[in-house]
Structure 1
Amino acid sequence: MEPARQAFTRESADARRAALIDATAACLAEHGLAGTNVRAICAKAGVSPGLLRHYFGGIDDLIVATYEATSDRMDAIFAAAVEGAAPDPRARLSAYLTASFRPPVTDPELLGAWTAFWALAPSDARMATIHATSYAGYRARLCELLLACGAADAEKLAIMLTAMVDGLWLELSLDAESFGAEAAVQMVGRAVSALV
């Protein structure tokens, strides 16, 4: 008796696009911007270079899509942190701010991808737009949480706290032993207590 043949299944266009985006993020994390190329991405995704060009105009378009997808993923993580917090406005604010010091945001691979995105933003208008939109959204949600806590001048506080969180996240990503995630959470908590 012949062994049963496996049915051929073709991945959906969305699944292939997502695989290419995931492979791009992984390549950026592993090799940096200079080492991320069509060959490396396609090898990581297990597809041919022709498939990349079928779904994206080229590597630049794929990196833009990867930044959008990564930003959307971060937005969802921060929203889930707030939803999972106690209903108290302070708890929701704390959850939003400190999600940056918890997995999956602390995944070391994220640093490589994120720094590549930041490096491209000043010279690529599409990357700059994604950056501006993403950060404006983060600050707007932070501002709402600050207002719910009764903060005065919430817009300026949102800018300051965003910079603080980004700086602590970056330092932790570069050197996890420098002060630790829990220390970062405590620093942000002290800042919020002093300012709000």
Structure 2
Amino acid sequence: MSPERKTFRRIGPDQRREAMICAMLEIIAEDGIAAATTRAVAARAGVTPGLIRHYFDSKDALLSAAYQQHMTDLTHATCGVGQGASAAARLVAFIEAGLRAPVVSAEAVSLWAGFLTHAQQSPQMHEVHAQTYREFRDHLQGLIADALCEAGRATSTAALRRHAIACNAVIDGLWLEGGVLPDAFAPGELVAIGLASIGAMLGLPLAQNAQTATQDMIQIRITP
């Protein structure tokens, strides 16, 4: 597929940089990482290849920026939920958000898979991968710590870290399968499996908490 050429317009440096990153992500999602040449990105973003080199000293730098943007967007879509609720409800909301659209999608998994090989070959992209993984896992660890504390169960930092690694693996596995095989699962099945599995691992009734939260929301909506 040939890249779509956009009409040039005057925008600020930050917006221009963002346009280049968005163009890179769009091309990789549509045609794969091999199609995301500097020329193709420039045409899609409506800039010259020389301007891309002004903002990014190499294609690897642009790839790293695009990968960081993709992973950060997924993390924010998952982490920015459940504020102000109980600790258990916040953990439930985090798991649910990570196992539903738009986080679970064929495009999100395709982009991640396209970047993965390069993340192993490029030190810069490898550091982005490590950084975004730590951010996601550390946020999950905090939610787990709060939920266990709320349940009256003090837990060591080492144990919390292991819990976060294991629970993250469950979420990642279900996310991957849901994105690759969306028709293989019934609506809400990934969420139900995730809550049941992580709840069993932590010894917390997360599925029950999810049902209670849903019933509370329904009650709020029908109360005059």
Both proteins in one fold, TM over 0.5:
yes
2:179 to 167, 173, 177: 173
Deviation at residue 52 of structure 1 after TM alignment: 1.3
Count residues with an aligned counterpart: 187
Q: Distance in 1 between matches of 2:18 and 2:85?
A: 34
Distance 1:37 1:111 in 2: 21
- Say which of 166, 169, 193 aligns to 1:160: 166
Is 2:49 the partner of 1:43? no
Q: Percent identity?
A: 32
* Amino acid aligned to 2:18: A
Whole-angstrom CA distance in 2 between matches of 1:28 and 1:100? 22
Go from structure 1 to structure 2 and tell me whether the alpha carbon gap of 1:57 and 1:9 turns closer, same or farther (over 3 Å shift): same
Q: Which amino acid aligns with 2:167?
A: L
| Structure 2 CA distance for aligned equivalents of residues 165 and 146 of structure 1 | 14
Q: Name 2:33's counterpart in structure 1.
A: 33
**Which residue of the partner structure matches residue 100 of structure 1?**
98
Q: How far did 1:18 drift?
A: 0.4
Moved more, 100-109 or 9-18: 100-109
Hey, which bits of structure 1, 4+ residues long, moved more than 4 A? none
Say whether residues 1:186 and 2:192 are aligned partners.
Answer: yes
Quote the Cα distance in structure 2 between the aligned partners of 1:170 and 1:181: 16
Per-residue Cα deviation, 1:41-96 (whole angstroms, up to 9, x for no partner): 1222222212211211132111111112222222322231232xx61111101111
For the Cα contact (< 8 Å) 2:61–2:124, is it kept in 1? no
SS at match of 2:125: helix
**What is the TM-score of this pair, normalised by structure 2?**
0.77
Question: Which one is further off, 73-82 or 133-142?
Answer: 73-82
One-letter code aligned to 1:175: L
**Contact 1:143/1:154 (CA < 8 Å) preserved in 2?**
yes
Give unpaired runs (5+ residues) of structure 2.
1-7, 203-224
Q: CA RMSD in A?
A: 1.9
Letter in structure 2 aligned against 1:154: L
Secondary structure in structure 1 of the residue aligned to 2:184: coil
Distance (whole Å) between structure 2 residues aligned to residue 11 and residue 180 of structure 1: 44
**TM-score, normalised on structure 1?**
0.87
Structure 1: gaps spanning 5 or more residues: 1-7
Question: Is 2:63 aligned against 1:72?
Answer: no
